[in-house]
Structure 1
Amino acid sequence: MKSYDIEALRLLARQYNTVRKASTEVINLSAILNLPKGTEHFLSDVHGESEAFLHVLKNGSGSVRRKIEEVFSGTLMEEDKRHLASLIFYPEQRLPLMLEKVENRDEFFKIILFRLIKISRVVTSKYTRSKVRKALPEAYAYIIEELLHEQESVLNKHEYYTSIIESIVSTERAHSFIVAICRFIQKMTVDHLHIIGDIYDRGPGAHIIMDSLIAYHTVDIQWGNHDILWMGAASGSGACIANVLRISLRYGNLATLEDAYGISLLPLVRFAMETYGDDPCTRFFPKNTGDIDMDYNEEQMIARMHKAITIIQLKLEGQIISRRKHFRMDNRDILSTLDPEKGSVVIDGAEYPVNDSNFPTFDKDHPLELSEKEKEIMTKLTNSFKSSTNLRKHVRFLYEKGSMYLIHNNNLLYHGCISMKDDGSFDGFEVDGESYSGRAFMDRVERLARQAYFASEDDESKSYGQDAVWYLWSGRQSPLYGKDKMATFERYFVDAPETHVENKNPYYKFRDSDDTARKILEEFGLDPDKSHIINGHVPVAVKKGESPVKGEGKLIVIDGGFSKAYQPHTGIAGYTLVYNSHGMYLVSHKGFSSTRLAVEEEQDILTEDILLESVQERLRVKDTDKGKKIQNQINLLNALLDAYRTGRIKEGEESY
């Protein structure tokens, strides 16, 4: 047995001060080790598409339907199973619609309740009673617990079980009870949720997604480049704020800013109309995915705001590039090369014409300096971002539950890439004579991202952290962005298509190989024969024959493809992943129409399961990270028992 420090055992003895207490806990923990492993659910790149996200969350990427099939295969018609699934997903909305079609409400309630209890028994079978009890809805905790652990088929319990159901119906509590137990089933179907980045931007509901994640029972988040951008904006980074505004205006998504976060855009509106009121700004009209209804005048106002904040952004980014020479991004300060009289800029040593001649706030002698009005605008916007209570709540949750990467149950989770050179080696980043690459680089930039938000306002480390967060959004070696440049200037102001090309990091070429996957897993201390990489960020071009499974099965891409802007390119609504006690399933999704159709017509997201890996022997808690912690606790308790039995510690002496 491993030797433990006697003082550590004395501390443990305060909680388990007798042989009986310590041995009872060993028995309890040992039993937990042999329970089936809980279901993990992996989602990525939801990009503000709250309706599709919430639907996938409710159905657990098909996990609820799989449970229904497991329980009722051969006993229920397909129509009845579909009704049951839609009820579990949307109990408040579906139940009234279902009741409209039944003649005997009491009999309907009894049938539904019996079916929901059967499903509940299956989804709770892999948990301890204690854990189930903590998850029960408070109002019905005792009743549900009784129903879960009483078998209606046992003769001497049949009447007792039936009487509970009948009492629920006769007291007119069936409606609220059904809603409560449906929510309970959703909760217990998935043990843990992983979000592999990019909650924000494009779609209109990022704030709704964040609220749902805060309310979720257990979740972790690996930051995406769009998330880090909002985190930087909340910290007060002007460049990040300008980018957030530009993207929101580009997609006509102002509701998240104004309604959800209370960001006042009125100063920007006034400035844009005064400065660009005679400019048609035709290249800045918002992209409309069909979610937002606006007329031409609204679109034109947004276009002028869009151009105004873009110019501000380019100036602020140029200032970062100038003061952080070690970012090695001098070639990205294109605004400083602008010559309005010639109508040209210099990009990578070549001169190109610009398609716009109206730059009223640009000073050729001081190209990166904000005008007085631009400074005033940014001061007001910065104050608005930093004082938003709801944004602060959401961003602090991203810091609390988030990280650059996560190692969990032998899987390595990250959003973008591990930056590589053309020869396949890890790309290094030098700061003050120190070189960082691979895992060390990820750890370094995570510390900087936290520094950006939590350091004191007057501390230089905060300013540096904010600039580092902007770099993570768009820098050449950023593991979250993964391209050699973000061609913002070129896409707006230069027509030459060759300047718009954003080359992916060599990682995306090498990640198809088994050798690369192995090298990355080893870099993070994982066994490549037993581990996987779960990767988001880049949509899988299914239409072009691309597979989400790479590195001979060791690397799995699960960009959810929730963003409607990507779906014409991918051909599907992306992938999610389910990892349960039986193995690992990749789930491909078709597009989601709307919550209304899901409720009224029971339209589900059509999914297809792809079995990636199955296990001959069902995975248990002992096979997980949680199991390792429990085993360590058991070992420590066994050492305490040995100390009691050998007289090194006396029972009861540490109880006071």
Structure 2
Amino acid sequence: MTIFCFGLLISSLKSYDRVIRTEYENGVGLVVVDKDKYLKLLSKQYSTIADTVTEIINLEAIMNLPKATEHFISDLHGEYDAVQHVLRNGSGNIKEKIREIFQGRLSTREMNQLATIVYYPEEKVDLIVSELTSREEIEEFYTLTVTRITELCAFVVSKYTRSKVRKALPPDYAYIIEELLFKDTIMSNKEHYYDKIINTVISLNRGKQLIAAFAHVIQRLVVDHIHVVGDIYDRGPYPDKIIDTLMDGHELDIQWGNHDVLWMGAASGSAACMANVIRISARYDNLEIIEDAYGISLRPLMTFSEMVYPEDRYEPFLPKVNPDSDDEIYQEEIRQIAKMNQAISIIQFKLEGAIIKRHPEFEMEASLLLDKINHDEGTVTIDGKVYPLRCDYFPTIDPNDPYALTEEEKLVVNRLMEGFLNSERLHKHVQFLYSKGSLYLKYNDNLLFHGCVPINDDLTFMEMTIHNKKYKGKALLDEYEDILRKGYLNREAGSDNNRYLDYVWYQWEGKASSLFGKDKMTTFERLYVEDKATHFEHKNAYYKQRHNIELCNMILTEFGLDSCKGHIINGHTPVKENRGENPLKANGKLIVIDGGFSKAYQATTGLAGYTLLYNSFGMQLVSHQPFTSVKDALVNESDIVSTRRIVDKELERKTVRETDVGQRLTEQVNDLQALLAAYYDGRLVEKVSK
């Protein structure tokens, strides 16, 4: 599929206007542009009438293909194995394809085996072959499997053009796969030709590699486009591996989540974001993501915590150890992590206090609690009420200046910040998040964002003052995104970058943040106060009213979408299905797809995540049961049990023409028709081939 950039320029010339107006900061300038200049540029790619006609026919044909499948996932939280499995099986889509083709021809066991081969081709083939006893059995297995996986692949790619399929083929086996996929089924005299291809591959001991190549094509094309609706980072152990997987070729976009923005802020130079990143990693016994995955040394923090915090005062800071982990946990390691958590938490509260004091427009004074501590009594005053502290040891807090970092804390912060600013792999991942990501996305009539659009109790959009200007609704999210990008681009500017970084941190816990959506974050209270009444965080009215169809329509209209056709797709808040909560709100107008990939949530959600599929037949919500392990999937051919629910069903099968891609292709066709007219009336001359 060709998308030619100059075509978009020409389409903007309404009725062949010969003037483009360009606004400058100091007025309006006029640039006189001849449309033929753009047509001449376009003619460099389509230099003859034949080339132009061929491309018009190609684009018109593409627009009549069925709409490709979109796959929506959210709140991955570092759970690499489960996420990878869902991506590999296309939220159960591959098994559905296998049933459509082979039901009645293969047994359930054979279909399950084929599905597992598609998910984990190299590993599963090795396992099967190791159990076969003769060369004849091995050759028979390879012949059957190649034949079946070829048929499955042909079915999966049938909605795409040959050109698109060709681009998805692995180079080493592109010729073989293309020959087998598009073989001539009418001319029977070529059957020996195709059989010989398969037999020769097997005789050369390359059967496993060919099967793997087919499997990767199926995984790549069973879903055309992935939408990641936020929160790749935190809680689970391998967000870096998830990003590496997402970087590996699939067409996708990302709507940043609050945990993603926290890491993006740390990589941008925000010390407050960095402190939160370290605290959360310590809390979930996941400091390896910082030290091993990103090569950032935490030794300065460990040394500082050992010197300052005694061994008997860290109980509230003990990490949440995963009982299912295969790694042996030592008591000494737990002790060290707890003390590091204690040290970085106090540093975090001091850094955040400085930001809050710099920005009264944040209206976050209620979060300033270090100056509410009574060190003599061991209490803290919250909202006018006095509470005893679980831990009353604050060796680095000066009661006369509680938010000032000690010289030792400053040194720790500077050394940690240097590590975050200089981690090559972290910045590779953060740059990928910026290149593929945004705070929200409008795509095929749907509005995707991670958290909320902040609203007041009266269902009006909440205002936020940024650099002395008020924003709300779509304009507020646009301004937040602009700040996030500028914060990262100016990461070497040091304290001069605070004008952006303070607002980046605000995305993590500000009440008008679209990613947080609560009145305040009660981290201090959860760590230091036993009374759970102080832990409560009031959600933004959006979460209380998102069942309201009028609110959903108002938001869709605010973002320029048709409220009759559009959906809002969110993550961020786990759906507690075992308590009767429905992920479909407002009669399906709003869909929440955070069902709990994170193991930390599964006890309360009752499942292990929702995903959403949107193909030419409509939209389906898929709920998943917990993933056991890759080993279980390989040995027992187990799969994530998935249940599908229809959200919307198309009355007529949707085509590419009716999508956002179709709109762009229509613009290109119009541009090419203008080029064709220029050839016909002699304004442009075809290129003569030598």
* Segment drifting more, 140-149 vs 92-101: 92-101
1:3 to 12, 15, 23: 15
Offset from partner CA, 1:518-554 (integer Å, 9 cap, x none): 1111010000111111110001010111100011111
Offset from partner CA, 1:375-398 (integer Å, 9 cap, x none): 111111000111111111111111
The separation in 2 between residues aligned to 1:135 and 1:456, in whole angstroms, is 37
The residue that corresponds to 1:85 in the other structure is 115
Q: 2:117 is aligned with what amino acid?
A: L
Shift of 1:557: 0.5
1:179 matched to 2:184: no
The separation in 2 between residues aligned to 1:474 and 1:293, in whole angstroms, is 34
SS at match of 1:639: helix
2:570 to 512, 535, 556: 535
Shift of 1:112: 0.4
1:314 to 332, 337, 349: 349
The separation in 2 between residues aligned to 1:412 and 1:459, in whole angstroms, is 35
2:408 to 355, 373, 382: 373
1:604 matched to 2:639: yes
The residue that corresponds to 1:73 in the other structure is 103
Offset from partner CA, 1:372-429 (integer Å, 9 cap, x none): 1111111110001111111111111111111100111111110000001011111111
The separation in 1 between residues aligned to 2:503 and 2:370, in whole angstroms, is 21
Offset from partner CA, 1:105-142 (integer Å, 9 cap, x none): 11111110000100110111111111111111111110
Cα RMSD for the two superposed structures: 1.7
Shift of 1:14: 2.6
The residue that corresponds to 2:23 in the other structure is none
SS at match of 2:92: helix
The residue that corresponds to 2:145 in the other structure is 112
2:454 to 419, 429, 434: 419
2:267 to 229, 234, 253: 234
The residue that corresponds to 1:588 in the other structure is 623
Shift of 1:28: 0.9
Cα pair 2:439 2:481 within 8 Å, conserved:
yes
1:564 to 581, 599, 609: 599
The separation in 2 between residues aligned to 1:355 and 1:109, in whole angstroms, is 64
Cα pair 1:34 1:621 within 8 Å, conserved:
yes
1:126 matched to 2:156: no
Offset from partner CA, 1:200-248 (integer Å, 9 cap, x none): 0001011111111111321111000000000011112111111001000
The residue that corresponds to 2:244 in the other structure is 211
Shift of 1:147: 0.4
The residue that corresponds to 1:289 in the other structure is 322
1:168 matched to 2:172: no
Unaligned runs of 5+ in 2: 1-10, 17-34
SS at match of 1:427: coil
SS at match of 1:125: helix
Q: Structure 1 stretches (4+) deviating beyond 6 angstroms?
A: none
* Segment drifting more, 126-135 vs 239-248: 126-135
Shift of 1:461: 6.0
The residue that corresponds to 2:86 in the other structure is 56
The separation in 1 between residues aligned to 2:322 and 2:194, in whole angstroms, is 52
In the superposition, the TM-score normalised over structure 2's length comes to 0.92
Offset from partner CA, 1:251-281 (integer Å, 9 cap, x none): 1111111110111111111111110134331
1:651 matched to 2:686: yes
The separation in 1 between residues aligned to 2:377 and 2:430, in whole angstroms, is 44
The residue that corresponds to 1:243 in the other structure is 276
Shift of 1:351: 3.1
Cα pair 1:32 1:621 within 8 Å, conserved:
yes
The separation in 1 between residues aligned to 2:493 and 2:301, in whole angstroms, is 27
Shift of 1:456: 5.7
Cα pair 2:657 2:663 within 8 Å, conserved:
yes
Shift of 1:289: 2.3
Cα pair 2:556 2:568 within 8 Å, conserved:
yes
The residue that corresponds to 2:254 in the other structure is 221
Cα pair 1:450 1:465 within 8 Å, conserved:
no
The residue that corresponds to 1:434 in the other structure is 469
SS at match of 2:442: strand
Cα pair 2:253 2:437 within 8 Å, conserved:
yes
SS at match of 2:15: coil
Cα pair 1:414 1:536 within 8 Å, conserved:
yes
The separation in 2 between residues aligned to 1:557 and 1:293, in whole angstroms, is 36
The separation in 2 between residues aligned to 1:462 and 1:581, in whole angstroms, is 46
Shift of 1:37: 1.3
Cα pair 2:595 2:607 within 8 Å, conserved:
no
Cα pair 1:152 1:162 within 8 Å, conserved:
no
The residue that corresponds to 2:385 in the other structure is 350
Cα pair 2:575 2:595 within 8 Å, conserved:
no
The residue that corresponds to 2:298 in the other structure is 265
The residue that corresponds to 2:22 in the other structure is none
2:48 to 18, 40, 56: 18
The separation in 1 between residues aligned to 2:38 and 2:82, in whole angstroms, is 49
Cα pair 2:316 2:391 within 8 Å, conserved:
no
Shift of 1:482: 1.2
The separation in 2 between residues aligned to 1:136 and 1:375, in whole angstroms, is 53
Shift of 1:560: 4.2
The separation in 1 between residues aligned to 2:394 and 2:471, in whole angstroms, is 40
Q: 1:491 is aligned with what amino acid?
A: R
* Segment drifting more, 17-26 vs 99-108: 99-108
The separation in 2 between residues aligned to 1:198 and 1:72, in whole angstroms, is 37
* Segment drifting more, 610-619 vs 226-235: 610-619
1:550 matched to 2:585: yes
1:577 matched to 2:612: yes
The separation in 1 between residues aligned to 2:312 and 2:575, in whole angstroms, is 39
1:623 to 655, 658, 661: 658
The residue that corresponds to 1:256 in the other structure is 289
1:386 matched to 2:395: no
* Segment drifting more, 482-491 vs 275-284: 275-284
**Length, aligned pairs only:** 655
Q: Percent identity at matched positions?
A: 49
The separation in 1 between residues aligned to 2:433 and 2:467, in whole angstroms, is 29
Offset from partner CA, 1:51-86 (integer Å, 9 cap, x none): 101000100101111111111121111110000000
Cα pair 1:46 1:560 within 8 Å, conserved:
no
The separation in 2 between residues aligned to 1:143 and 1:339, in whole angstroms, is 76
Distance 1:432 1:95, change over 3 A: closer
Unaligned runs of 5+ in 1: none
2:72 to 35, 42, 48: 42
The residue that corresponds to 1:453 in the other structure is 488
Shift of 1:154: 4.4
The residue that corresponds to 2:376 in the other structure is 341
Shift of 1:643: 2.2
The residue that corresponds to 2:224 in the other structure is 191
SS at match of 1:538: coil
Cα pair 2:576 2:595 within 8 Å, conserved:
no
The residue that corresponds to 2:29 in the other structure is none
Cα pair 1:39 1:192 within 8 Å, conserved:
yes
SS at match of 1:305: helix
Cα pair 1:151 1:161 within 8 Å, conserved:
no
The separation in 1 between residues aligned to 2:40 and 2:184, in whole angstroms, is 44
1:502 to 537, 555, 564: 537
SS at match of 1:540: coil
Q: 1:8 is aligned with what amino acid?
A: Y
In the superposition, the TM-score normalised over structure 1's length comes to 0.97
Q: 1:249 is aligned with what amino acid?
A: A
2:676 to 616, 641, 646: 641
Cα pair 1:262 1:388 within 8 Å, conserved:
yes
SS at match of 1:240: helix
The separation in 1 between residues aligned to 2:494 and 2:76, in whole angstroms, is 35
Cα pair 1:451 1:461 within 8 Å, conserved:
no
